[in-house]
């Protein structure tokens, strides 16, 4: 969808909880895709005129639907287009057996949740490809006064506006321009962590890991409970070859943010490198409790359990993986490893 919209001249961006799926995207779309959760979108408030979610929400546990819809509303300043697998639809019975569809509800239930999240239900359509003629189900009035332009709204918070402009510059590969804007933001808003998080990201982009560490340490001073500075510090230490220190930072960050797949991925990678695989088990289990169908991290969990000798946990994870992603890369190799281990023990 991102590629289709961009070919139409639309500034489109996308997220997927699966790093594997993002990695399989067409090359033209790759620079505009992020690994992330629908409950913690990596975008500023009121970033988009349209937010589209195609068969996403049925994968969200029921207890997290409200916060996910609230997060979608946060980044949207216009309309939301959602398609959701539901029990009202006429679909093959086997469709509802998909174990990753953890919230299968009637269409009316979803509409009520949308209203509770602050959306109005309206008619319309998304004019691309297979979605022609589908209903545009929701519209949101932005927090700013009706009729106010996004530029006017951003002017109310110059630091936020500078950080947003800097982030766009970094996405374009203009690291120098991004740094200048983040420095300006830091000078104008000295008591907020956002500019320093941005400066850390610029430094990581340029492999300047000492500079990144200093920026993220400042961000942590200003936002001690925010997991993002710790995640950034982990990346800085990892880039500098400090594997165990990186792992400590990732573990601390994950204890505050169980829902970040990129963070958990880096944590597992660091745990492997540091020879401390046991530290990856709990963060993986917490994350998979929220996202049981994330095939990449489910495979990682199975592999970690296998290496730690937790054979029953590894086999259970593999069984789940065969149901949700039978073609997952690495599945057959891990299954073969478990079989060979069993033969050796016999």
Residue that is written with structure tokens 């287009």 in the block: 81
Determine what percent of the chain is predicted with pLDDT higher than 70: 81
pLDDT above 60 for 303: yes
Reported confidence tier of residue 281, pLDDT bands at 50, 70, 90: very high
Going by the DSSP 8-state scheme, the letter that residue 63 receives in this structure is: G
Contacts of 23 (CB under 8 A, 6+ apart): none
- Report the pLDDT value the prediction gives residue 100, as an integer from 0 to 100: 65
Torsion of CA 84, 90, 91, 93, to 10 degrees: 120
**Residue 283 is encoded by which pair of tokens?**
């963060």
Give the right CATH number for 37-149 from 3.40.50.150, 3.40.50.410, 3.40.50.1370, 3.30.70.3170: 3.40.50.150
pLDDT in tens, 106-118: 777 888 888 888 8
**Which SS3 state, helix, strand or coil, does residue 127 take?**
coil
How confident is residue 53, by pLDDT bands cut at 50, 70 and 90?
confident
CA distance 329 to 189: 46
**Strand, helix or coil at 116?**
helix
What percentage of the chain exceeds 90 in pLDDT? 31
Would strands 138-139 and 76-83 be described as parallel, antiparallel, or unpaired? antiparallel
The full 3-state SS of 233-274, as one line of letters, equals HHHHHHHCCCHHHHHHHHHHHHHHCCCCHHHHHHHHHHHHHH
Rounded-to-integer distance, Cα 14 and Cα 86, Å: 23
Beta-sheet strand order (sheet of 48-54): 48-54, 76-83, 138-139
CATH assignment of 157-224? 1.25.40.10
Domain boundaries, the chain: 37-149, 157-224
Under a CB-based contact definition with an 8 Å cutoff, are residues 215 and 180 in contact?
no
State mean pLDDT over 186-205: 89
In this prediction, residue 342 has a pLDDT band, given cuts at 50, 70 and 90, of low
Q: Average pLDDT for residues 173-194, to the nearest whole number?
A: 89
């Amino acid at each position: 969808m991102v590629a289709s919209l961009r070919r139409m001249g639309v500034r489109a961006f996308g997220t997927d909880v699966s790093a594997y799926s993002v990695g399989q995207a067409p090359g033209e779309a790759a620079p505009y895709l992020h690994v992330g959760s629908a409950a913690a979108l990596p975008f500023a408030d009121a970033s988009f005129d349209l937010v589209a979610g195609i068969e996403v929400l049925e994968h969200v546990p029921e207890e997290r639907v409200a916060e996910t819809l609230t997060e979608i509303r946060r980044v949207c300043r216009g309309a939301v287009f959602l398609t959701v697998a539901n029990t009202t639809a006429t679909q093959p019975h086997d469709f509802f057996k998909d174990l990753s569809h953890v919230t299968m509800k009637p269409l009316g239930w979803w509409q009520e949740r949308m209203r509770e999240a602050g959306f109005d239900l309206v008619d319309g359509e998304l004019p691309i490809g297979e979605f022609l003629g589908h209903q545009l189900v929701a519209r949101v009035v932005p927090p700013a006064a009706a009729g106010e332009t996004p530029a006017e709204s951003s002017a109310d918070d110059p630091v936020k506006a500078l950080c947003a402009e800097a982030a766009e510059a970094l996405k374009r590969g203009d690291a120098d321009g991004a740094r200048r804007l983040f420095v300006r933001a830091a000078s104008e808003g000295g008591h907020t962590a956002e500019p320093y998080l941005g400066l850390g990201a610029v430094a990581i982009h340029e492999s300047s890991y000492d500079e990144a560490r200093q920026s993220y340490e400042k961000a942590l001073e200003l936002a001690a409970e925010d997991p993002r500075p710790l995640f950034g510090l982990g990346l800085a230490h990892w880039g500098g070859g400090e594997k165990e220190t990186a792992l400590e930072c990732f573990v601390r960050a994950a204890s505050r943010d169980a829902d970040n797949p990129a963070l958990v991925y880096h944590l597992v990678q660091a745990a492997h490198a540091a020879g401390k695989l046991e530290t990856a088990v709990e963060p993986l289990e917490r994350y998979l409790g929220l996202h049981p169908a994330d095939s990449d991290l489910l495979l990682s969990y199975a592999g970690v359990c296998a290496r730690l000798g937790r054979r029953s946990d590894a086999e259970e994870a593999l069984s789940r993986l065969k149901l949700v992603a039978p073609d997952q890369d690495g599945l057959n190799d891990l299954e073969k490893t478990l079989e060979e281990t069993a033969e050796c023990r016999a």
